[in-house]
Each structure stands twice: as C-alpha cells, then as structure tokens.
A and B are shown apart, each in its own frame.
Chain A
Amino acid sequence: MTITATEEQRVPARSAPDRQRTPRASFGRILDAEWTKIRTVRSTTWTLSLLFVVSVGLTGLICWGVAGDLAAGGTDESPGAFATWGLMFGQIAALVLGVIVASAEYSSGMIRTTLAASPRRWSVLLAKAFALGGLLLVLGTATSVASFLTGNFFLGQEGVGLALDDPGVLRTLFGGGLFLAVLGLFGLGLGMLMRHTAGAVTVGIALIFVLGNLVGLVPGALGEWLTKLMPGNAGGSIAVVESFNPDLLDPWVGFAVFSGETALLLLVAGVLFSRRDA
C-alpha cells in the first residue's frame, strides 16, 4: 500500500484544555468497549454458531433416534432426559468462548492496550463478565428453546413429547441460558487465571466433563458428594428436564452451587489479575 508520509504530518492541534468536558472511563464505557470487542471478532460468531448448531442438531438426532424406543418402553430413561440432550456437547462452545474472551487478550498482547485504556482492573473483569454473560444468556436461552422444540418435535411424533406445563420444562428452557452464561463465566475465570487458551480449555473440559464423571469412582459418600458438587454436574441439571443421574443435586440448588464455584473462581482470577504484571 502506498502511504503518504511527509504531507501527513499534520496532527490536529491540541484543543485548549476543555474543562467542561471531563471525560471519564466510567464502568458503562468500559462495558461498551468490552461489548464492542466481543462482537467484532469472528471467534465469537464461530463459537456461538457451533453452540447453537451442535446443541440443536444433536438433540434432534438423539430424539429422532430414541423416540421409538421410548414410546415402546424399551428403555428406563424418561423423554425429559433427551429433550435438550445436545446441550451437553454444545456447552463446550460456551466454555471455549469464555476462555477466549480472556486468553486472546494475552495471546495477542492486547491486554496492555486494554489496561492502558482502562487501568482499573476489577472494572475490566466485571465488564467482560457482564458482556459475555449477557450475550450467552440470550443466545443460550435461544439455543435451549430451539433444542427443546426440535427434540420435542421428534418425541411428539412417537407420542412421548412433553408439554410446556410438564414439570421442569419451563425451568429447562430458561435454565439452559442460565447454565451456559455461568459456564461461559467459568471459562472466563479459567482464561484469566491461566492466560493461555489451550491450557484453560483443557483444564475446563477436564473439570466440567471428565472429572465430573470420574469422581463417581471414589467409593462411599465422599464419591457421591464429589459427584454432586463438581461444577458441570451441579450446574448441568438446570438445563435438562430430567437428569440421567438421579443422585445429582436439585436443579436450582445445583445451579446455586455452580454459580458459587464460578464466583469463587472469578474472585481468585480477579485478585491475581489486579496484582499481576500485565
């Protein structure tokens, strides 16, 4: 590209200090900036598309596959366990998006620009959490509703469909959004803590998906409680009409536990963030 070098040296003269206009990097502005950041990179579009397509697609697929079996009574499972089944996989995208929102700042070095613009680090973290959480709440709810409608369509064809006023159905529709939003924040916390995309995604998947199943192998009551309290297990119940595992915490109790764990993670990440060199 050609750049006009010498004639471009005109820097607009500094306006005389205008004291009426006392600009402030207020929280609202930092939030606006963080929201602008999230919506202007393609990774956001990609992860959210994946979240939607995988969740809705897999739910449709499994419901289409098991509806006949369920109708014939060939399985002990209830239709409610399948109605949003795809979210189990789609949720990985929410976790990854949360991680990226934090870790991409470090992999690109942009964290320095971010903190030069808004040096109050707790405000930056909070703004990121609001922007990400809000986005995932809306798209997560849409995903959850679309998954349910798709899955339920196939279940309904075999006469095992659910009605909106069946127990847990409404809770599931909104719970999906809540769960995905908090899961994204969990990823944000991990990303902030580890400052490395691959590392944080690996740890996140291990904590949410792998360890959640493995701790069940610990014998006795300890194993039972660990299973109940692992973040993925505790939080996931709110996003399904009925859980495959009957020993998990009650959906809302579980969600409260998961939110608490996420808050704790963000708190630790925030303390380190505000202390560490950028």
Chain B
Amino acid sequence: MITAERLTKRYGDKTAVDAIDFTVEPGTVTGFLGPNGAGKSTTMRMVMGLDRPSAGSVTVNGRAYRDLPAPLHEVGALLEAKAIHGGRTAYNHLLWMAKSNGIARRRVDEVIDLVGLTDVASKRSGGFSLGMGQRLGIAAALLGDPGVLLFDEPVNGLDPEGIRWIRTLIRSLAAEGRTVFVSSHLMSEMALTADHLLVVGKGRILADTDMNDFIARNSAGYVRVRSPQAGELAERMTGQGWRVERADDGAMAVYGATAEAIGDIAGAHGLYLHELGGVQASLEDAFMRLTEDSVEYHAGVPGAAHAPDSAADQTHLTPAGV
C-alpha cells in the first residue's frame, strides 16, 4: 500500500508535483498515466525516498521509505532501465543488492531464472539489449519478494514479445495480492494492464478512477452500420432518436444506439445489414482531451454514451503494434 498526502515537489519556481493525494491498493494494478513531464517519475522517486518532497508526505506500508529496515523485502522498483553499472555482470549486480538486504544467494539464481537471463547471467550488463536490461531491472525488483512493486514506464522500447511478457507479469503480481504501481504515458497500455487509473497532468491528479468506469465515461462509442438500403434504415434509426452520420466509405455511424437495437430495427423492417459493429472511440483521444485541459474535465465528461458491445470493444481497444 502506498499513500501520498499533499505530496509536492518544487524545483525553483516550477512545481513538478502539486499537492497530490492518492492511495495505491494491494491486489490491483494501479496505472499512473500522464504525458511526459507530468510528474510521474518525480512522484515515483519520492515514493522511493530518492527525491525529498518539498511538502507533504508519501509512505509505503505506513512508513517513509527511509525508515524501512530492509527496503528490498518490502518494495521492488524498476525505476529506469539505466540504474545498473554496465561493467558489472548481471549476477554480481543482483548479488550486491541481495547482500545489502540479507537476501539469500539462491534467491539471486531464482530471479535470474524467473526473468529468463540464465544464459547471460555472467555477462556484463553493459552489452545487454534494452529488453535484457529491462529484465535485469525486473529481476532486481523481485529480488526481495516484495509486496509493493513500482514500474516506471516498463514497456518503453521493448519489442512486442517483451511488452506482452511484462504485461502478464504485472497482472500476475497483482493477482498474488501485491500492490503494483505502473506508470506510462500510453493510454492503450494502461487500458490493458491497469485495474485502477490515476491520471496526472502538470503535477496534478486529473482522474482517480476505476479503469472500466474511465473507459465507459471517456469513450464516445458508436455503431458502424452498412446496408444496401441505407436510406430507409437511416430514416428508421433517426426515428428512434439516434444520431446517424454518413461515413466517407458509405457506412453509417450511429450514436446513441447499441448494435443489438439496430439489428432489431433492421430485422423488424426486413432490411439487410452488411455490416454491424460497435466502435470504441480511441481512449488515447480521451486521455489527450483530459490532459490537454484539466479544468474542463471535471465540468463535463465527453460522450457518456452507451458502451458498445464488449467484443467489438476489445478489438478496438487493442493498441496498434500488439
């Protein structure tokens, strides 16, 4: 459990983190989402006791990080790929960490195995690819079998296989009851991994919400319909009070209706349908709108329409490149 209260970090007259309050609960993946420079990394460094808050406080399991007697047993962190001396072998890097917190040597072998670095454990980490470096960082985070895990932009620069590996790992860590706090600037990534979402912009919390709620509220969904009798169908649908827009390719975008309702209407009037499916507006867009202008967010949530059916949902949520 991580608890921040009025947590603030100022650099000169620039406020990087502005009196934020949040709680990261065990057993869930909490996504920490915001554009670059929103204060995510600064916040995570303050959690780890690396940066000193200008005001407010943040605790891990009820204690300031500096007061943890053996921190690696309680908190594991992947703060950035390059927090490793490239001249040291992967094994020795984990070995000194283990020694500092009284962790058994066999646990070093265990985590090396776990992240799949067994073959290169005796190689200097300077020659590692980004993905291997990231795996070493994760091995370091898991070394003390901690109940709280922090991942700062864990998928940055990884190939699809590595991304999937980290995603699954993060999910399974939370499923084991651990507190998992993951930062990212990619909404699509968060949609796939996080249960709970903290959106930050300019050092402030813009949204602290359940992931599903966020998706439902922030996606202006519509149903895409194609029919050889488009004119008649459009009339029928408009008659139901739904908004119908003609798309460039001759299909129609229907707002305010579910795919089922449209299918029923068409069937009732004997109209053919060549295409029918829910389309989720990009969450990336919702996120951009949110962080672009934090004031407007609270005033009105755009497009609180019906969520389209879940199958179509999934296809459109999956980000490109996966």
Q: Judge whether B57 is part of the interface by a CB distance below 8 angstroms.
A: no
Which segment of B97-105, B181-189, B213-221, B271-279 sits at the interface?
A: B97-105
A109-B173 in contact (CB<8A): no
The stretch that binds A, out of B162-170, B226-234, B260-268, B287-295, is B162-170
- Residue in chain A with minimal CB distance to B161: A5
How far apart sit A110 and B93, CA to CA, in the bound complex (Å)? 10
Q: List A contacts of B73 (CB < 8 A).
A: 23
Inter-chain contacts of B88 with A (CB < 8 A): 37, 40-41
Q: Given the complex, which residues of A lie within 8 Å of B97, measured CB to CB?
A: 33, 113, 117
Contact with B along A3-29 (1 / 0, CB 8 A): 111101111111100000011111001
A37 to B100, CA, bound (A): 11
- Beta-carbon contact of B145 and A23 below 8 Å: no
Given contacts A1-B132, A14-B177, A108-B82, whether A37 and B69 have CB atoms under 8 Å apart is no
Q: A1-B132, A40-B96, A112-B50 are in contact. Are A8 and B85 (CB under 8 A)?
A: no
**Chain A 259-278, CB within 8 Å of chain B: the 1/0 string?**
00000000000000001011
A163→B84 CA distance, assembly (Å): 50
> With a CB–CB cut-off of 8 A, which chain B residues contact A26?
102
Of residues 104 through 141 on chain B, the ones whose CB sits less than 8 Å from some CB of chain A are: 110, 114-116, 119-120, 131-132, 135, 140
Total A-B pairs in contact (CB under 8 Å)? 151
List, in ascending order, chain B residues with CB within 8 A of A42's CB: 87
Interface residue range, chain A: 35 or more
- On whether the beta carbons of B114 and A10 are closer than 8 Å, the reply is yes
Nearest CB to that of A7 among chain B residues? B116
Residue A213 interfacial (CB < 8 Å): no
Interface string of B137-175 (1 = CB under 8 A from A): 000101001010000000000000110110011001100
B101 touches A11 (CB 8 A): no
User: Is A277 in contact with B82, judged by CB distance below 8 angstroms?
Assistant: no
B50 touches A277 (CB 8 A): yes
B83 x A112 contact (CB < 8 A): yes
Q: Does A72 contact B (CB under 8 A)?
A: no
**A8 in contact with B50 (CB, 8 Å):** no
Q: Complex Cα distance A184/B92, Å?
A: 23
A1 proximity list for chain B (CB < 8 A): 119-120, 132
Q: Does A112 contact B99, Cβ atoms closer than 8 Å?
A: no
Q: Which chain B residues (218-257) contact chain A, with CB distance < 8 Å?
A: none
Contact A116 B52 (CB under 8 A): no
CA distance A113 to B137 in the complex (A): 10
Q: Which chain B residues lie closer than 8 Å to A110 at the CB level? A: 83-85
Whether B114 lies near A119 (C-beta < 8 A) is no
Per-residue interface assignment for chain B, residues 65 to 105, with 1 indicating a CB less than 8 Å from any chain A CB and 0 otherwise: 11011111101010110111111110010011101111100
Q: A42-B87, A119-B68 are in contact. Are A32 and B99 (CB under 8 A)?
A: yes
Bound together, the chains give a CA A157 to CA B142 distance in angstroms of 63
Chain A hits for B116, CB < 8 A: 3-5, 8
A3:B135 contact, CB within 8 angstroms: yes
User: In this complex, what residue of B is CB-closest to A121?
Assistant: B66
Q: How far is the CA of A29 from the CA of B72 in the complex (A)?
A: 13
Is B49 part of the contact surface with A, judged by Cβ < 8 Å?
yes
B51 within 8 A of A: yes
- Is A30 interfacial (CB-CB < 8 Å)? yes
Q: 30 A–B contact pairs at CB < 8 A? A: A1-B120, A3-B116, A5-B164, A8-B115, A9-B168, A11-B169, A14-B147, A22-B70, A23-B69, A23-B70, A23-B73, A23-B103, A24-B102, A25-B71, A25-B101, A26-B102, A29-B101, A30-B100, A37-B85, A37-B88, A41-B85, A105-B85, A108-B86, A109-B84, A112-B48, A115-B49, A116-B50, A117-B97, A118-B101, A278-B50
- Chain A positions within 8 Å of B, measured between CB atoms, are 1, 3-6, 8-15, 22-26, 29-30, 32-34, 36-37, 40-43, 104-105, 108-110, 112-113, 115-120, 275, 277-278
Closest 6 interchain pairs by CB? A33-B100, A40-B92, A36-B96, A23-B70, A277-B51, A5-B165
